[in-house]
Structure 1
Amino acid sequence: MARDDDPEPADLAREREREWQQIVENFGERVVLEPEEEPQVDVVRPQVPDEDLDDPPVRDQIHPDDEFVPPTPPPIPRPPIDRLLAWFGVFGIPAVVLFCIVVGISVPTWFGLLMAAGFIGGFGYLVVKMSDEPRPPWDDGAVL
């Protein structure tokens, strides 16, 4: 049901056509906006006596005896020799191979096979030595 204040369909079509015509006529032109005047704000700065300018106030004065001195950390634990050799096999042998490739050193076949066996053996040894026990579900690995 049509309301009394609704425009006629012909009037509505003419209004839409007029709006589209305005859009087409103004296409590509940019509207120039006048800059608005910003209100002037007076900044009030407190008056500071000249004697305070030489020595700025120190807020956090800590007595030297009250400073926190952390304890010396424990020495880095050294892995057992078998695990150290296994880690060298996993990381050291690929580094040696990469160095030989970059420099252009050709190694004998038996030495290349020995390095491949060292890499695979070191990786296998580290996998075998891994713990089979599952971690507790609440353990996030943090040590306090």
Structure 2
Amino acid sequence: MQREDPDEDAAWQAIVDNYGERAELEPEAEPEPVRVDPADDLDEPAELGDDDPDDPEDDIPAFDRFVPEDPPPVPIPPFDRLLAWAGVFGSPTILLVFLISGLSMPGWLGWLLVGGFVLGFCYLVIRMPGSPRDPWDDGARV
């Protein structure tokens, strides 16, 4: 595709020709020859490494090989909260198992599981703190 307007080409060429100052580069200096003494190689024992060319660990720089510490163990909540969480998660799980397996469940057990879910949820909501630990805390953790 050719341009129709030669003035536009001339304008662009003028912009390119007059764009900023041109940097003057110094000619590259010739590197000095390095003298290799084969006797130096004999003084040090050869390094016995596991240089596997297919090892992806060799491609990673040393500073990228971060290994985090083991996390602390998960704390066990107090018994009352543990019972409430069991009601919140355990009741629907048991109901789902009965539903999927096709087993019939006694009516009283169904009502007990529904009551356990509702009571556990209400207990956890009531026990939630009303204010943040720190007045300036927005809840974000790093």
TM-score between both structures, scaled by the size of structure 1:
0.48
Q: Which has the higher contact order (CA 8 A, sep 6+)?
A: 1
* Larger CA Rg, structure 1 vs 2: 1
TM-score between both structures, scaled by the size of structure 2:
0.49
